[in-house]
Amino acid sequence: MTSNSNGAVPTHGLGPFLQDARLRWVVAIAILAFLVVAPMIFGSYITVILTNALLYVVLCLGLNIVVGYAGLLDLGYAAFFAVGAYTIGVLTIQFGFNFWVAFPFAVLAAVLAGVIIGGPTLRLRSDYLAIVTLGFGEIVRFSARNLEITGRASGISGIQDPSLFGWQIRTQTDYYYVFVVLAIIAVIASFRLANSRLGRAWLYVRHDEDAAEAMGINRVQVKLAAYVIGAIFGAVGGAFFAANLGAISPESFSFEQSVLVLMAVILGGMGKIPGVILGAFIIILGPELLRDLGEFRLLVFAVGLLLIMLFRPSGIWPGRRGA
């Protein structure tokens, strides 16, 4: 890691914690060790919700690039999640593709969707962009509901479990490890992007568009890059989500889903990777912990959210990165 060899440039996406490279390795290894043994210690239920939380880590890190780094408010992130999932569903079921053959198309579809919607709209002010993305998310969901090829409201079922080099991914534990790997890749990718030329450009543009332009940064292009990369994260998450559940339907891609991912990102602390991961876990595990409360669980959870935001308005993870 060039940027740390002489301890000069602070590493982006972490906040003041974990700036020490050694400490960072210790924490990373501890977390990794925990993730590897978790399914053996805890039962299948915990494995399932941890899988879910790890999926959210991927989605949240993707949205974090859009919202946390580039400062674009996206209320329709579930659309990209849907594009990934439905591309897999349609290609494997309607066209008989193998999962791994369909997978690149899922990513490609997300890139296309990102460019088509982002291209003309990214110059809009944040609040207007929010409604455009919301509208786009709803358009995707309604289209999935109305089109024959996406199975209309019933969705697509019977999506086969993929196998990888002879390993048949099937059980919940298998998928758990798949999502562990995906989440790790997402973390590393986010981290490297944040500390790259492009990652810095996102921060420049977010802090001062005009100054960034004056420094020769094409803000529309840079924002589009953030949007498209965020879309890719979403689509990858969606593709494996589809394989994991084996069935997809429009309910999974609602506005609420977009909002939950956004909540996780902001709750943990936008732009701070550990914060975003924490946010993803809170948003998924919180309501699960409260299951015994029955119909009150969302109420209690929402009050909890409110309190967290009141006490830590910039998100849970400390540090100012992420305005």
Residues 6+ apart with CB under 8 A from 131: 75
Interface residue with other proteins, options 108, 130, 169, 184 (CB under 8 A): 130
Query: Is residue 21 near other proteins by the rule CB under 8 A?
Result: no
Per CB under 8 A, does 166 bind other proteins?
A: no
Site for other proteins in 27-46 (CB under 8 A): 27, 41-46
Tell me if 189 contacts other proteins by CB under 8 A.
yes
Tell the smallest beta-carbon distance from residue 291 to other proteins (Å): 6
The piece of 90-98, 101-109, 176-184, 209-217 that touches other proteins (CB under 8 A) is: 209-217
Q: How far is the CB of 73 from other proteins (least distance, A)?
A: 7
* First-to-final CA distance of the chain: 26
**At a CB cut-off of 8 Å and minimum separation 6, what does 107 contact?**
84, 232, 235, 236, 239
Rule CB under 8 A: is residue 174 a binding residue for other proteins? no
**Residue 57 or 132: which CB sits closer to other proteins?**
132
Residue type, 127: D
Q: 115, 125, 124: which is closest to 227 by C-alpha?
A: 115
Supply the minimum distance, in Å, between the C-beta of residue 145 and other proteins: 6
Number of residues binding to other proteins, judged by CB under 8 A:
122
Q: How far is the CB of 54 from other proteins (least distance, A)?
A: 12
Q: Is 160 near other proteins (CB under 8 A)?
A: no
Per-residue tokens: 321? 């990165």
**Binding residue for other proteins (CB under 8 A) from 37, 98, 104, 207?**
207
Least Cβ distance, residue 166 to other proteins (angstroms):
22
In the list 180, 262, 276, 280, the residue contacting other proteins (rule: CB under 8 A) is 262
Among 198, 239, 243, 261, binds other proteins (CB under 8 A): 198
Q: Is 225 in the site for other proteins (CB under 8 A)?
A: yes
Q: Does 19 bind other proteins (CB under 8 A)?
A: no
Q: Does 8 engage in binding with other proteins (CB under 8 A)?
A: yes
Least Å from the CB of residue 80 to other proteins = 16
Which of these segments, 86-94, 100-108, 176-184, 241-249, binds other proteins (CB under 8 A)? Answer: 241-249
Q: Does 94 bind other proteins (CB under 8 A)?
A: no
